[in-house]
Structure 1
Amino acid sequence: MSDEERILKHFLLSSPPGQFDLILEDLKGLSELSPEFVEQTRSEYNSKTGKEVLQSTENLEFGNLQQDLGNYVDKFYKSKDVNSNYVIASNSEGGANIIIYAERIQLQQFHSGSWTARYSIEKDEDSITISGKVVLHVHTFESGNLQLNSTTDFPSSKVSMAGIVAQIQKWDEELMQNLDSIYENMSSNILKKLRRVMPVTRTRFDWNIAGHRGVRQLGMEVKKNKE
């Protein structure tokens, strides 16, 4: 693979949810991409993000896990404009790997996002151990361009066969609580750190969102009156 192909592949593999083909079209205007290169990169992107799960229909028979997990996904991962699915596959340890993937693509509303959860179940004579990881990728680009890339690892936990889905739900709830806490404090913590406390104008930045919206609306009205 040439240096140019490696760079183009990096851009494609970094595509936000639902935007692989849009970025691909832009890159085609810069370089000639072979069908083989596009097919291989798309397959790698779908595997990396977990998107390939949406087309999967086969699941390993692993006790009542398939039914319990299916009910859980239907209850918490199904809503308007959300595509989701799950896969249960065997692993080399005699246990199972679980992938839950969900995405909500609303490019006409300037946002998209995906949730990829991967869990590993190890089974021995006395116990069952589950560990996992959830990757979030969110993109919003209305009046700006902002992406959230978050990876959360969950340590190994001993469970019963019937408690696998309950443990997954517990981790999901913990993750959502952490995200809620981040969002609540975003204006006072994260966003302020993106700017220096005292800009070159020597005037502190006003973080009042309503005030900025009012100024922007006033500017639009003035422009409209001039026209």
Structure 2
Amino acid sequence: MSSKTSALASFVESAPPGELTNVTSAIKTITGDNSLQSLAPAFQKYNEEQFTTVKLPGGSQSVIISSHNSLGDGRYYDVESQSSFAFDHSTQKASDVQSHVLESSQGDLVKSLLKSLSTHAQEHYPSSSLGVYPTFDDTSIAVVFVANKYSPNNFWNGRWRSQYIFAPSSGTLIGSIKVDVHYYEDGNVRLITSKPVSLSVSGGSAAEVTRQIAAAERMYQEELNRAFGSLSEGAFKGLRRQLPVTRQKIDWEKVGGYRLGQDIGGGRSR
């Protein structure tokens, strides 16, 4: 991979929630459409890691793109709609929907978890998508959850991602919770957090797995709320720039021409 392609790929892979289209448009403006072909692996990595959601042609619900429900060759499947589809990673569009029947020894538990966790998602998240899939070795179950909140008119976007691997034989539930929020009015502030989760599920029922996941996510939400409160009263206050004594905001486009003492501070320059 050339240094140019590597640099462009890093822009794609680090795109904030809901802003991949903006990043892609910027790349096309700077380098032209041809450069996008070499970025196919970066688009795929972004979509699978960020749990990009897409509506299938003729469908109303959004389904998740992840490595757990990949069939290879750009195709993915959805358990709830019992369908597979082709996905274009650069345009984030789905096509060629076909019937797909889940064949797994974990099939009954997958469907039970999907039903139980859907209730949890509807109760606690205003806009979310859920995927439950057997792992490729068919010994465990992957739970993938994403909730997006986009408000570009107010210059912010956010994403909550949860990912868990449940092993019924051992009762272990291991995963992580990730939050990514971008605020970009008159500047850029981005919060990226990650919380590892390691739990033991007794009984192994769908209801108990859901209860454990709900408790872990509620606890992390409370931790974030406390952290935000501390930042607001502490570190953020230290970052705020006080207005000069002139009570005029600094024009950053002309900052190079200011005389520091007189023009900004309001005092006499020497």
TM-score range relative to shorter protein: 0.7 to 0.9
Q: Deviations over 1:53-94 (max 9, x none)?
A: 7434325634321211111112212x2xx3x21111112361
Q: Secondary structure at the match of 1:191?
A: helix
Unaligned segments of structure 1, at least 5 residues: 196-204, 218-227
TM-score, with structure 1 as normaliser: 0.77
Q: Name the CA shift for 1:94/1:181 in 2 (closer, same or farther; >3 Å).
A: same
Task: Name the structure 2 match of 1:42.
Answer: 43
**Cα distance in 2, alignment partners of residues 26 and 149 from structure 1:** 23
Task: Name the structure 2 match of 1:137.
Answer: 180
Q: Percent identity?
A: 21
Count of equivalent residues? 197
Q: Secondary structure at the match of 2:217?
A: helix
- Greater share of helix: 1
Task: Name the structure 2 match of 1:220.
Answer: none
Task: Name the structure 2 match of 1:171.
Answer: 216
TM-score, with structure 2 as normaliser: 0.65
Q: Deviations over 1:110-159 (max 9, x none)?
A: 110011100010121xx522122011110011233100000000123233
- Whether contact under 8 Å (1:93, 1:123) holds in the other structure is no
Which residue type is aligned with residue 216 of structure 2? W
**Cα distance in 2, alignment partners of residues 139 and 131 from structure 1:** 27
Q: Secondary structure at the match of 2:201?
A: strand
- Whether contact under 8 Å (1:130, 1:159) holds in the other structure is no
Q: Secondary structure at the match of 2:116?
A: helix
- Whether contact under 8 Å (1:16, 1:138) holds in the other structure is yes
Q: Secondary structure at the match of 2:31?
A: coil
Q: Name the CA shift for 1:46/1:52 in 2 (closer, same or farther; >3 Å).
A: farther
**Cα distance in 2, alignment partners of residues 19 and 154 from structure 1:** 28
Q: Deviations over 1:4-46 (max 9, x none)?
A: 0010010111000111110111122222344433444322211
Q: Secondary structure at the match of 1:174?
A: helix
**Cα distance in 1, alignment partners of residues 248 and 163 from structure 2:** 43
Which residue type is aligned with residue 43 of structure 1? Q
- Whether contact under 8 Å (1:140, 1:147) holds in the other structure is yes
Task: Name the structure 2 match of 1:68.
Answer: 116
Task: Name the structure 2 match of 1:184.
Answer: 229
Q: Name the CA shift for 1:74/1:6 in 2 (closer, same or farther; >3 Å).
A: same
Aligned 1:215-226 pairs, distance under 5 A: none
Task: Name the structure 1 match of 2:12.
Answer: 12
Unaligned segments of structure 2, at least 5 residues: 55-61, 65-77, 81-101, 250-270
